[in-house]
């Protein structure tokens, strides 16, 4: 192995040789290497986060037909550093009556729940944190920690708007976990394993987005709702509930919430890329173009796909109006959950029945089943809409002049 083919193991072995030659036991050398690896991973995630602040502001500016920050540094690249300096030197206000320990722990826990996800994100086949065999469930678990941090923030702020915002946000997040888990099961079934490397390797012939486009769409929608980004951001919108659960946070604590949200969005873009769009692979082209097998090139490919996913999430955010909280929950429980369960059952059946057939046939049949389900769903929705319109028309025209006359 050398630095190009296997960078992490190369550096780890070199460091281990360095440590054990000084007389350290092998077990402790392993623990120290793990700590160094964790620090490097967190550093990479946080540096990426700084870059994402710049990306977000430039992209939102272009969507809104303006330029964005372009004064500080070339193309405004130093702008995030100016933001960081501003946030750090702001006054740290703790509201009176706030529960100090919980108040200070909440932003840390929110950021931690995002960085925990980077442990399983596979940047290349040889660059990843750990190859858990339950990685898909780990994704759900890290989301659960994020939910806890929001309740802590809302409660400890001693502010009824913060508490209301936290309640709404938590109701939102735990509701949208259901379709998210169900659509996370679809790549698991198709790849026959819960480990992210296994799922990425199983997409070497055909991407899962071809086998289950509806699953990808529902996962994207539930991920956007989990993140609390628009159009599902009623819980922290400034015009609705005065910024929700992070009203009372100022300075770098708010910076942790804000940067954590951006990193969370990018990480979920990475997960969409990994689960449905092939991750670091380019559907089998690596066999023909050996340079694509190198870990660093694969990492660049993966980060590129994750950036495209993040751009789609930003596109949705800056193009759509906000959804009301009861519409949000009704959309989840009455539409997304039944639809995702139907897709799961159909995908499982289809993949089992087609397990012996050639890949192109299986891909075609499963794509067609998704098209059929989508068409059926649209027909059902049209029927429901037609009935609703007929009901409203019958209530509107003949009855109301009599009603108005009767009430006077």
Partner 1 sequence: MTPEQIIFLISAALILASAMMVVITRNLIHAALWLVSALFGVAVLFAILNASFLAVVQVVVYIGAIAILFIFAVMLTRKEMRDRGSQTRSSWWLPALLGVLILAGLIFLIFGQPAVNRTAPAIPAGVDPLRLLGSALVSPDGYVLPFEAASVLLLSALVGAVYVAIGRKS
Q: Which residues contact partner 1 by CB under 8 A?
A: 27-28, 30-31, 99, 102, 132-134, 137-138, 140-141, 143-145, 147-148, 151-152, 155, 163, 167, 170, 174, 177, 194
CA-to-CA separations, 312 to 56, 88, 308, in angstroms, rounded: 12, 31, 6
Q: What minimum distance in Å lies between the beta carbon of 39 and partner 1?
A: 18
Q: Closest distance between partner 1 and the C-beta of residue 246, in Å?
A: 18
Tell me whether residue 118 or residue 138 sits nearer to partner 1 (CB atom).
138
Neighbours of 304 (CB within 10 A): 12
Give the chain as a 3 state SS string: CCCCCCHHHHHHHHHHHHHHHCCCCHHHHHHHHHHHHHHHHHHHHHHHHHHHHHHHHHHHHHHCCCCCCCCCCHHHCCHHHHHHHHHHCCCCCCCCCCCHHHHHHHHHHHHHHHHHHHHCCCCCCCCCCCCCCCHHHHHHHHHHHHHHHHHHHHHHCCCHHHHHHHHHHHHHHHHHHHHHHHHHHHHHHHHCCCCHHHHHHCCCCCCHHHHCHHHHHHHHHHHHHHHCCCCCCHHHCHHHHCCHHHCCCCCHHHHHHHHHHHHHHHHHHHHHHHHHCCCCCCCCHHHCCHHHHCHHHHHHHHHHHHHHHHHHHHHHHCCCCCCCHHHHHHHHHHHHHHHHHHHHHHHHHHHHHCCCCCHHHHHHHHHHHHHHHHHHHHHHHHHHHHHHHHHHHHHHCCHHHHHHHHHC
What is the rounded CA–CA span in Å between residue 152 and residue 332? 25
Angle at 255 between CA 259 and CA 165, to 5 degrees: 90
Nearer to partner 1, 199 or 363 (CB): 199
Judged by beta carbon, residue 271 or residue 302, the one nearer partner 1 is: 271
Residue 142 or 303 with smaller CB distance to partner 1: 142
CB 395 to partner 1: min, Å: 23
Cβ count near 137 (within 10 Å): 14
Q: How far is the CB of 117 from partner 1 (least distance, A)?
A: 13
Select 46 or 329, whichever has its Cβ closest to partner 1.
329
- Residue placing its CB nearer to partner 1 in the complex, 132 or 202: 132
Kindly tell me which of 193 and 370 has the beta carbon lying closer to partner 1. 193
CB of 152 to partner 1, least distance (A): 7
Backbone angles phi, psi at 315, to 5 degrees: -60, -45
- Name the residue nearer to partner 1 (CB basis): 106 or 301: 106
CB of residue 169 to partner 1, shortest distance in Å = 12
Nearer to partner 1, 36 or 144 (CB): 144
Least separation in angstroms between CB 42 and partner 1 = 19
CB of 201 to partner 1, least distance (A): 16
Residue 339: CB minimum distance to partner 1, A: 20
How far is 180 from 171, CA to CA, in rounded Å? 15
For partner 1, the closer of residues 41 and 116 by Cβ is: 116
Query: How near is the Cβ of 358 to partner 1 at its closest, in Å?
Result: 27
């Amino acid at each position: 192995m050398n630095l190009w083919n296997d960078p992490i193991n190369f550096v780890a072995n070199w460091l281990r040789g360095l440590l054990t030659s000084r007389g350290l036991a092998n077990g402790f050398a392993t623990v120290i290497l793990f700590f160094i690896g964790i620090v490097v991973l967190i550093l990479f995630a946080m540096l990426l986060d700084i870059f994402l602040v710049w990306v977000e502001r430039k992209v939102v500016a272009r969507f809104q037909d303006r330029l964005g920050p372009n004064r500080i540094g070339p193309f405004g690249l130093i702008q995030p550093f100016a933001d960081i300096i501003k946030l750090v030197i702001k006054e740290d206000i703790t509201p009176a009556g706030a529960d100090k320990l919980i108040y200070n722990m909440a932003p840390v826990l929110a950021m931690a729940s995002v960085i925990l996800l980077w442990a399983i994100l596979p940047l290349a086949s040889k660059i990843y944190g750990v190859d858990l065999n339950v990685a898909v469930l780990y994704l759900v678990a890290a989301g659960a920690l994020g939910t806890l941090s929001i309740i802590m923030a809302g409660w400890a702020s001693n502010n009824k708007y913060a508490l209301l915002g936290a309640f709404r946000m938590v109701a939102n997040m735990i509701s949208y976990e259901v379709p998210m888990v169900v659509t996370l099961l679809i790549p698991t079934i198709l790849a026959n394993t819960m480990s992210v490397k296994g799922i990425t390797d199983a997409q070497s012939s055909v991407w899962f987005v071809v086998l289950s486009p509806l699953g990808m769409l529902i996962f994207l929608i539930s991920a956007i709702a989990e993140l609390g980004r628009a159009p599902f951001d009623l819980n922290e919108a400034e015009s609705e509930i005065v910024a929700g659960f992070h009203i009372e946070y100022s300075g770098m604590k708010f910076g942790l919430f804000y940067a954590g949200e951006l990193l969370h969005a990018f990480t979920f873009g990475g997960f969409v890329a990994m689960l449905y769009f092939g991750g670091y692979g380019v559907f089998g082209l690596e066999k023909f173009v050996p340079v694509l097998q190198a870990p660093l090139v694969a990492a660049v490919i993966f980060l590129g796909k994750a950036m495209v996913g993040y751009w789609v999430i930003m596109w949705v955010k800056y193009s759509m109006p906000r959804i009301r909280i009861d519409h949000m929950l009704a959309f989840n429980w009455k539409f997304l959950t039944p639809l995702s369960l139907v897709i799961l059952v159909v995908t499982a059946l289809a993949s089992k029945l087609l397990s012996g057939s050639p890949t192109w046939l299986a891909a075609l049949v499963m794509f067609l089943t998704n098209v059929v389900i989508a068409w059926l769903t649209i027909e059902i929705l049209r029927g429901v809409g037609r009935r609703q319109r007929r009901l409203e028309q019958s209530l509107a025209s003949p009855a109301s002049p009599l009603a108005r006359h009767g009430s006077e």
